[in-house]
Amino acid sequence: DYDPITNFTITGVRGSNYITVNSYQIISNSNKILIDVNIPMRSGNFGGSFILIDIVYSQSTNLTNDMIAKVFYEGGESFDPVNVPSTETSKFKILFANFGRVLGLVKPYYRDVSVKVLYRNTSVVATNEIDGSHIISSLTTNSNVNNVMLGSYRLDLIPPGTYDIEISSSKYRTLVMRNVVVKANEVTNIDMVVLSNIPFSTEAREEQSVVSLDDGRTELIVPPGALLNDFSVDIVLRDATTEEKEGVKNTKSVGSFNSINSMKVYELIMRTVPGYDIFENPLKSDVILKFYYDESYITSQGWSEDKLSIWYWKDTTKEWVRIGGKVDKQNNFVYIKTRYLHRVYAIMSDGNVKKDGVVRNLKASPNPFTPSIKGTSVDNRYGMLKITFDLDKPYDKCKVKIYDMSGKLVRILECDGSFGQGEVYWDGKDHDGVYVRNGTYIFVVVAGDTVGYRGTVILIK
């Protein structure tokens, strides 16, 4: 039974999945539709089976019909009411063209993501003209919803006009899409958007972390007190650029590739709180980066898991610099601890690398270097001395001691050596925070109680 409305026409009735519509009949001058269907005898649920009623309409108002459904079973004596679950309704809507609809997709599909229609250039949530309620949607996070994509949203009953669409969450940065035009009787489809993580906080008292949305496993873990500044990080797994592939040829200690064209890299997209890009980022103490790898990718390149290492891309010289790392073959991770975050990393096989001595494969760059007095992230690529190395075994702590040419100790840099590698940076300051003079400086790497390496660096201001 339904409310009879003369300005729409039922043009067809059909079934889905296990329901076959044998025939249907519209009773003249009445409010009844009789549908004869055939459903095969079977137990269990019907996997979302339903009956579709096709309607052509032309109407100047929005119509919602309260449908009262009854069923007459073969061999029965009368029509019995259809039980509607408490979470569902027996209504169908005929949506007229005096409003529009916005559809879109958000990644990740986190359950507390809220999508709102705002009046343009305000923070005021728009309302519909049917019941005056706010136009807000959440994301579909249930994979059992038929014909609806995970992470999708639907904003309905929007009066024609130009609006802003705000996507917000407790876990991700708020995103506002400006000047979205909504037209009557039209659906506005918005391209998928990827939310950025909210910034790490220097004030956090608990561990903070972000996980790559691409593989769901690669992760940056930040212990309390490890940061010098607030910033956000999004980890993207992507194909290597032509320049990054060519850089492998400039790095002698990288193992050979079976297919350099399939090379993958991990990019850390770092931003300040206002949203400006950060190319490199010094830290107060060690953080953990755990890079996930697919065994099939490693095998396809002809590599052994025992020889995997982490490398970072040195944009200034177009080469890869080896960091090393701890390989977890059971869970397919390579771990590093570092006090300096680079923009691009890769998992590659070791080629001709040093295997003797306590401190191995040390790289100090740039050398010479000019301290980045302004402290900008662009300057850091040139104005921070980065010292990377791996070790003959894990050590609780490693120290890099810096001396001037008279033998005076200028600075001590510490790092965690428990993963068998280390990375520190020197900003050109002494232990009092004062920039040192131009000249040549000696650095000594101490692992445990053993002096493992001595080198020199030139500082020019």
Residue 13: predicted pLDDT? 75
DSSP character at residue 254: B
How many separate helices (H) and strands (E) can be counted in the chain?
3, 34
| Tokens at 226, concatenated | 């490890």
> CA–CA separation, 163 vs 188, rounded Å?
12
Q: Which residues contact 432 (CB under 8 A, 6 or more apart)?
A: none
Same fold flag, 201-353 and 357-461: no
Residue 43: predicted pLDDT? 45
> CA–CA separation, 240 vs 297, rounded Å?
14
> CA–CA separation, 281 vs 198, rounded Å?
17
Contact 24, 51 (CB under 8 A): no
Q: Which residues contact 208 (CB under 8 A, 6 or more apart)?
A: 200, 201, 221, 222
| Tokens at 233, concatenated | 């990080």
Contact 49, 19 (CB under 8 A): yes
Q: Which amino acid is at 418?
A: S
Residue 252: predicted pLDDT? 83
Nearest to 337 by CA among 283, 400, 380: 283
> CA–CA separation, 407 vs 430, rounded Å?
14
Residue 270: predicted pLDDT? 94
From the CB of residue 445, how many other CB atoms can be counted at a distance below 10 Å?
Answer: 26
Three-state secondary structure call for residue 242:
helix
Class of the domain covering 100-194: mainly beta
Q: What is the pLDDT of residues 437-447, one digit of tens each?
A: 999 999 999 99
Provide the CATH number for the domain formed by 201-353 in this structure.
Answer: 2.60.220.30
Nearest to 317 by CA among 250, 363, 415, 224: 250
Residue 144: predicted pLDDT? 55
| 409 beta partners | 403
Residue 354: predicted pLDDT? 80
Residue 59: predicted pLDDT? 47
Query: Phi, psi at residue 381, to the nearest 5°?
Result: -65, -30
DSSP assignment of 288-316: EEEEE--HHHHHHTT--GGGEEEEEEETT
Q: Which residues contact 171 (CB under 8 A, 6 or more apart)?
A: 110, 112, 197, 198
Residue 375: predicted pLDDT? 56
Residue 7: predicted pLDDT? 55
DSSP assignment of 362-401: EEEESSSB---TT--HHHHHHHSEEEEEEESS-EEEEEEE
Residue 18: predicted pLDDT? 63
Q: For each successive 10 residues of the chain (461 residues), what is the average pLDDT?
A: 55 70 66 63 52 60 56 64 60 58 88 93 92 89 63 90 95 93 89 92 94 92 95 95 93 91 96 89 94 95 95 92 94 95 96 85 90 65 87 92 95 92 92 93 91 90 81
| Tokens at 433, concatenated | 């925070």
Nearest to 184 by CA among 128, 101, 63: 101
> CA–CA separation, 331 vs 402, rounded Å?
38
**How many Cα atoms occupy the beta-carbon half-sphere of 61 within 13 Å?**
6
Taking the domains of the chain in order of start, what are their residue ranges?
8-94, 100-194, 201-353, 357-461
Greatest Cα pair distance, the chain, in angstroms, is 108
Tell me which architecture the domain covering 357-461 has in CATH: Sandwich (2.60)
Q: Is 225 exposed, middle or buried (0-12, 13-18, 19+ CB in 10 A)?
A: exposed
From the CB of residue 294, how many other CB atoms can be counted at a distance below 10 Å?
Answer: 13
Whole-prediction pTM: 0.69
